[in-house]
Amino acid sequence: MKNFSRIIAGFWRLKEWNMNHQQLLDFIKQCVDLGVTSFDHADIYGDYECETLFGEAIKDEPAIRDNMQIITKCDIKLVSSKYPGIKLQHYDTSREHILASVNNSLKKLHTDYIDLLLIHRPDPFMNAAEVAATFTELKNSGKVLSFGVSNFTVSQFDLLASQMDFPLLTNQVEFSPLHLNPLDNGSFDLCQQLGISPMAWSPLAGGRLFTGTDEQSIRVRSALEAISRQMKGTTIDQIALAWILNHPVNVYPVLGTGKFERIRSAMAALKIILSPEQWFSVWVAAKGHGVP
């Protein structure tokens, strides 16, 4: 992931931001100027419309494409008026669908290549050898530079990797101070073993860190506030991101915000170093118990 920015801008909710063409272009340029140069998409986001909105915003300034990395995903088929033939939401990792999805994404994004393509969700009907061969085909054509997965278990990652002639670059998983599963299910262990960096979606738990009224949210928020008081001039969202960024597996958080000030604030988290005791105070709050 060395060519990607450590903070990644996610566009899952782009349609909800209600930006016009110029506002979106300005937001993208502000991100790039700040050093947030990696942009996370999926073919299905916004009922298959978010890639189009992004592509329309950047197409008149082609030079900006050279300064960014575009990530997108495929394999989920939504029930949508845009694809009336789909009657049931399902996954499709066939060669035919992956190639069609990539070609559609290239067209919508007004680009000749995708920097990183992810399989969006594990497909229980996946033919790993077929997916690997399709990835090789896309790499050889220059349409996709690198490949990874999203939401895969350790065994699912190992299965696909075993068929590849080149390494998978990442596994994008849900991870936040309120969702510790990758620490417990072997996902981060595997990433360290292979020397790859995972990406984290919903790193601020969809805002639950700040507004949640359940016991876990309250405990974790209190722990973040305590560290923020110790490290004057910081905010709890920065501490939460620093908690993720400080993990030795080298996580790349994906932020799903259209507010530039939140992006700017997130970048400041890159400079925050937590002590092991501070890091564990958040872990303990999330677990609801101390270490054995």
Residues annotated as catalytic (active site), given as ranges? 45
Contact 252, 197 (CB under 8 A): yes
Half-sphere exposure at residue 215, Cβ-oriented, CA atoms within 13 angstroms:
4
Return the beta strands (E) in the chain as ranges. 8-10, 38-40, 69-74, 76-77, 90-91, 114-119, 144-150, 171-174, 199-201, 252-255
Q: Please classify residue 116 by burial: count the beta carbons closer than 10 Å to its beta carbon, then call 0-12 exposed, 13-18 middle and 19+ buried.
A: buried
DSSP for 23-87 reads HHHHHHHHHHHHT--EEE--TTHHHHTHHHHHHHHHTT-GGGGGG-EEEEEE-EE--BTTBTT--
Q: How far apart are CA 245 and CA 247, in angstroms?
A: 6
Q: Which two tokens stand for residue 236?
A: 């709890």
C-alpha 47: how far from chain center:
18
Contact 154, 220 (CB under 8 A): no
